[in-house]
Chains A and B, each alone.
Chain A
Amino acid sequence: MRRQRLVMVGNGMAGVKTLEELLKHAPERYDITVFGAEPHGNYNRIMLSPVLAGEMSLPDIMLNDLAWYGRHGVMLHAGYTVTAIDRARRRVRAESKDGEVVEAAYDRLLLATGSTPFVLPVPGKDLPGVIAYRDIGDTEAMIAAARHHRHAVVIGGGLLGLEAANGLALRGMDVSVVHIGGWIMERQLDQPAADLLQATLEARGLKFRLGAHTGELLAGADGRVARLRLKDGDELPADLVVMAAGIRPNTALAEAARLRCERGIVVSDTLQTVTDPRIYAVGECASHRGVAYGLVAPLFEQARVCANHLAGFGIGRYQGSVTSTKLKVTGVDVFSAGDFMGGEGCEEVVLHDRAGGIYKKLVLKNGRLAGAVMVGDTADGAWYFQLVREGGSVAAMRDHLMFGQQCAESQRGPSPADATTALCA
């Protein structure tokens, strides 16, 4: 039988993961063509922060070099941006920077276009020295700026912004984080955790402006950005401005193809677009049950289901992910998972050791662990995350839960005596 044609738009982690899974299940099923805007193979975007921090180098984070594509008979068009999908004729059209055009026909189309950093629409956003933080290019630009410049401002106190700020600080820059929210990482931390994290980062030299709105970016004599003016009038010196104020799913291509999009390309539990079952979407560009995920773990879960379906098994279902966060800043342990804000119908267990830089909050609901947030000591994060995902009752070890897996599970023993000896052992 004729091999079917699978075309993938986007050469990022979610997409390539899908290919890897697919090649495991049905290596002979498809002729595969990949279009990637970046002139690289697939690399681990998550590891850009360690690269920026100087703890890793680019080769360390390459997942699939160009040879990999060849080995698996995957046709890679690196540096080509797909500009149109003809759903009627089932063809895609791509262009390289120098205007070269390539077309490819598909039986199945996989959209893995990822997302784009949100660039604040403020005066001066296009000045030299103003960049987003998304890919290897941005990372290299920051590393270069750190060599020649002193003052950096990172707009956005989320995961990515803090990692960028930390990296720049480690590279010797004087870094301020301008954050619009009341506390940093508000999507992953509650305020006490955020305050503790902020104190830790401040101890490492980072400066913070919370509840701060960026008014405009001002150029210096050389035409490069020099200052950032807040709406309240304050000005911060800024030879480098990094926009890390969130991401937007890349849906332009899909919308042009009149695929249904709502904050992402809307997909079913099999990762097929609800508009056209021949077309799949995975990763940051996809919107599943109203959620567009920005973290790697759920994207890989999507990839497995999607590959399973592409392989024709049709048994996998993606039902959404419980996410957990770890901040990749060496020496600063932050973890959160599930519903860590608690509230109505929830019970909270909180341990706060300000002097020791440790904060832990467990949120319980109906005798189950609903979420956890931790700063300073995240040793049991994986275990809590597992308990949250499994959703089993933790009533038996409720009083010991806070003190970690070893302590809590030892309490399940026949008698506390055994438990403590186990603990002391």
Chain B
Amino acid sequence: MDMSEAGRAAPAGGEDRKGRDGRSEQATVCCYCGTGCGVLASAEGGRITAVRGDPAHPANFGRLCTKGSTLHLAAAPGGRALYPELRGARATAGVTAVTAAVSTAVSTAVTTTRRRVGWDVALDTAAERFAAIIRRHGPDAVAFYISGQLLTEDYYVFNKLARALVGTNNIDSNSRLCMSSAVSGYKATLGADSVPTCYEDIALADHLLIAGANPAWAHPIVFRRIEDARRANPDFSLTVVDPRRTETAELADLHLQIAPGSDVLLYNAMLHVLLAEGLADQDFIRDHTSGFEALQAQLGSYAPGEVAAACGLPAAQIVEAARRFGRARAALSMWCQGLNQSHHGTANNAALIHLHLASGQIARPGAGPFSLTGQPNAMGGREVGALATILPGHRNIDDAADRAELARLWNIPALPGASGLAAVQLFEALAAGRVKAVWIACTNPAQSLPDQARVRAALAKAEFVVLQEAFADTETAAYADLLLPAASWGEKSGTVTNSERRVSRVRALVPPPGEARTDWAIVADFARRLATRLERDAAAFDWRDEAAVFAEHASLSAGRDCDMSGLSHALLERDGPQQWPFPAGAQQGTARLFQDKRFATADGRARFAPIGFPAAHALLPEPVDARHPFVLTTGRLRDHWHGMSRTGKVAALWGHAPRAEVALNPADIAGRGLRAGELVRIANRRGELVLPLAADAGVVAGQAWIPMHWGSASLAQPGANALTSAAVDPASRQPALKQAAVAITPARLPWRAAWARLADSPAAACTLQESLRPRLAGFAYAALSLTGRERNVVLLEIAAGAAVDAEVIAGLDAAFDCRADDAQVMTFDDAARGIAKRARVAGDALVALRLAGEVQAFGWLAAAIAQAESLAPLRRWLFAPLAQPPLGLAAAERTVCNCFGVGEGRIRACLADGAGLEGLQQELKCGTACGSCLPELRRMVAEAGSGLAAAAA
């Protein structure tokens, strides 16, 4: 499988064109992170068959990362919701939730099966239930929890439904979990939620400060531009602030390995240095800002020496960072969840933006704050106002004039004044019974919200849960009373806005599977049915098509800072992606905001926000104590995205990080008598999680790191969010997903078993995984995963305190086609040692495997299945307890370059022969396509270099 199409030059634009081999290609946008890369996608026979970067799209100019370049694989059928499903009356807190597809053992889920129904039954039922609850308990007894992955048009219809028809502000988005602190940070300083910068600024800056972000992995195409800028400009310097030594930090000239939660201390200290060393722009402060004196008065206690200890940094590093920022001709800053996912995220954002205001590093090319977004349309949601705390067109709920204006535009008497429930509160209200019914769309709260035990209890307690989803196999699906099948990427049409305010068209290439419908149409259909029941005007939800929805949305933005009243689907078709503001009559969009140095405040001055720190805040959401000595931080992997409902279906994307692990500093591992690779129990009062332990010198002693992707769809427990804190920032209400105090102890689960089976197709792999997910919770440790490239191999590894009973094993043997009574299954049994192994052979190849009691060989045997190894040399050793493959067979190895499937071993071998980066690229082609592995390759080259030097010395 060659995923190396990214970057091949070809003319691109809006309308259809012919691809290389005559396939019809359409320009659309990647559905993963907020970079918003343009994609040229091809479809054949109702299936998306290929993707490549759109050379004409200003976000990526033809490049795609590992995730983007496998979009066509993720779009393959499998795990999809195909028909509306309705559950009969809920039984009270049962033990298992049974969906039409599969019975799921979620401890606090609901019983009784969902049955397939028609769309009319589905939406009429939903309308009845919502109408009844609204009549009995008022509009605030229902809530909508939607997603930054929805298109702007979907977002808009949801928002109008909630506020204009139902009359509640209880509509929030999962963007609450990633962007809301940036929103409140911008509003607190610049006066509006306006990202002032754009991607071009990366090339124009000579200093870049990346804080709490790992774009090398989470925004790879942005990182490609950073690498380009560095290459092009010898004076370009990069400072990275991150508690972990990430791939991004590896590229930095200066890495501040900050103590978790000490961000505000650091930026205030840097501000202190700017002022002390005359690096501040007093004229800019005087002419274009307000509130400086108040902040300055607080700064006394922020001398670098004062905060160095709390920041876990040498004071000199803080001074150096400030000088690099202050002395820069043009300083740009980028940040993401590291700053936002904090109980003082607003302050984090403001404190960083203050550096720009104090040094005048803003409102000119190459300079300014640039928040990265984690979802393809987080920005669109902010413009539409589909968040509990804001209204369409960046209007404010607590502003009566804004409300009145919007009511007039929507032709309704009034809008509710009380701000709505933000994500975490929404589920608390659901648990408390104040909210009776929730409508969840395109997001997976049973995986992504903090403190999963409480979230799942809330979902189990709710009277009525509607899930509007493309995938039927998410954790949340188990709790849905009504499952509404939604169209997914490549099947729906509309617009998204990326991190640089650029609005792009998303196009439908293929019809949705089964009876799935496009999201906005589902919502509009429901709204009309609800309107008639509430005796309201159903016509308000009658749109001809998504272009009409967009037109209404754009008209609402007229005169606002995010004015896009000049934009239309037609214009986007004609002229391609555009950046707002784009008022009616404008000829082009706006690359940068505030170039006239007038900000979106009443007096036009940017504000130094009175962030009152540290008095108001503890650095961490909860104290680290003797019982919970580790600060757990969470983050993202290179080849997975969010809860993996999409990337998790692509076997090749499992190659770079084959399993969930918890990373500790080697010193902590040694100090606590642990062993890398052993299973440990990570626990606090909210929950626990059992994972293999990994040694990572990039993690500071006293901290632990877990990727946020894994949930109970692939593990026995709900993943990192079993442990994360529900503490929220008082202003942004964004939860502090980045830090939690945990204990880490040996799990002591000596009994191991593992299964592997070759699936005939990606869809078959999905089906097998679906059938296994319900059983995961039955084990102390379970890891369900995929491996392979051309072939899809489903893997299940479990661990327990003692041998699990034979029936469970037999059930799994059946699922993995390893039944001992089959003549094609080889068996090995050593009853006295509790070892029992099975292997299915087809022709000359191993196709299924079970190891119980002893699993050393599982890794390379699974690799042998994936690589269709001939069994001939293997047969004799199949059941031998060998951690390494005999007879020079290929060992299982981590994939570094996903485009060409180049593993770590081949790269190290090539390096051992003295190759450099160029050598690797010539020899193995790795790092020559999407480039996502370049940071890692550089690091490996450097390590090899130092290794050779050491050897020479």
Residues of A bordering B, CB below 8 Å? 347-356, 364, 377, 398-400, 402-404, 407, 416-417, 420-421, 423-424
Contact = CB atoms under 8 A, between A and B. Distances in A.
21 contacts: A348-B829, A348-B832, A350-B827, A350-B829, A350-B830, A351-B826, A351-B827, A352-B828, A353-B826, A354-B824, A354-B826, A356-B826, A398-B833, A399-B830, A399-B833, A399-B854, A403-B877, A407-B880, A420-B882, A420-B886, A424-B886
Given A407-B877, A420-B883, A349 B830 contact: yes
Given A416-B883, A420-B882, A424-B886, A348 B831 contact: yes
Contact of B826 (A347, A355, A421): A355
A358 B833 CA distance: 22
Residue with the highest number of chain A CB atoms closer than 10 Å, among B826, B833, B876 = B876
A33 B832 CA distance: 57
Contacts, number: 74
Contacts of A424: 884-888
Nearest to B828: A351
Interface string B806-830: 0000000000000000011111111
B875 A353 contact: yes
Contacts of B831: 347-348
A355 B831 CA distance: 22
A417 to B, nearest CB: 7
A354 B823 contact: yes
A404 B886 contact: no
The 4 A-B pairs with the shortest beta carbon distances in the complex, nearest first, are A347-B832, A420-B884, A403-B880, A353-B826
A63 to B, nearest CB: 37
A330 to B, nearest CB: 22
Q: Which of A355, A364, A423 has the most CB of B within 10 A?
A: A355
A75 B320 CA distance: 110
A350 B828 contact: yes
Contacts of B826: 351-356
Contacts of A348: 829-832
Given A399-B854, A404-B876, A424-B888, A352 B881 contact: no
A402 B854 contact: no
B267 interface: no
Contacts of B881: 399-400
Nearest to A404: B876
A353 B823 CA distance: 8
Contacts of A421: 884
A258 B207 CA distance: 114
Contacts of A356: 826, 841, 875
B876 A349 contact: no
Given A350-B828, A402-B830, 6 more contacts: A354-B823, A398-B833, A399-B830, A399-B833, A402-B880, A407-B886
A423 B883 CA distance: 12
Contacts of A404: 876
Contacts of B877: 403, 407
Interface in B830-877: 830-833, 835, 841, 854, 875-877
Give the interface centre of A402, A403, A420 by most chain B CB atoms within 10 Å: A403
A197 to B, nearest CB: 16
Interface of B: 823-833, 835, 841, 854, 875-877, 879-888
A398 B830 CA distance: 10
Contact of A402 (B824, B828, B886): B828
Nearest to B840: A355
A352 B879 contact: no
Listed residue (A353, A364, A417) with the most chain B CB atoms within 10 angstroms of its CB: A353
B883 A351 contact: no
B884 A417 contact: yes
Contacts of B886: 407, 420, 423-424
A79 to B, nearest CB: 52
Contacts of A407: 877, 880, 882, 886
Nearest to A353: B826
Looking at B880, B885, B887, B888, which has the most chain A CB atoms within 10 Å of its CB? B880
Nearest to B856: A416
Contact of B879 (A347, A354, A402, A420): A402
A352 B877 CA distance: 13
Contacts of A398: 833
Nearest to A360: B828
Contacts of A417: 884
A377 B877 CA distance: 13
Contacts of B828: 349-352, 402
Contacts of A402: 828, 830, 879-880
B178 to A, nearest CB: 44
Nearest to A417: B884
Contact of B876 (A347, A350, A403, A416): A403
Contacts of B880: 400, 402-403, 407
A423 B884 CA distance: 10
A400 B835 CA distance: 12
Contacts of A355: 823-824, 826, 841
Given A355-B841, A403-B877, A404-B876, A423 B882 contact: yes
B836 to A, nearest CB: 10
Contacts of B854: 399
B850 to A, nearest CB: 14
A292 B835 CA distance: 39
Contacts of A400: 880-881
A83 to B, nearest CB: 57
A66 B828 CA distance: 53
A159 B832 CA distance: 32
A147 to B, nearest CB: 39
Contacts of B883: 416, 420
Contacts of A416: 882-883
Nearest to A403: B880
B7 to A, nearest CB: 40
A424 B886 CA distance: 5
Contacts of A351: 826-828, 879
Nearest to A348: B831
A127 to B, nearest CB: 42
**Could you say which of B825, B833, B835, B881 has the most chain A C-beta atoms within 10 Å of its C-beta?**
B881
Nearest to A423: B886
B892 to A, nearest CB: 14
A417 B824 CA distance: 32
A399 B825 CA distance: 21
Contacts of B829: 348-350
A368 to B, nearest CB: 13
A234 B802 CA distance: 54
Contacts of A349: 828-830
A353 B835 CA distance: 16
Contacts of B884: 417, 420-421, 424
A178 to B, nearest CB: 27
Contacts of A347: 830-832
Nearest to B822: A354
A235 to B, nearest CB: 33
Nearest to B871: A356
A144 to B, nearest CB: 41
Nearest to B837: A351
A198 to B, nearest CB: 15
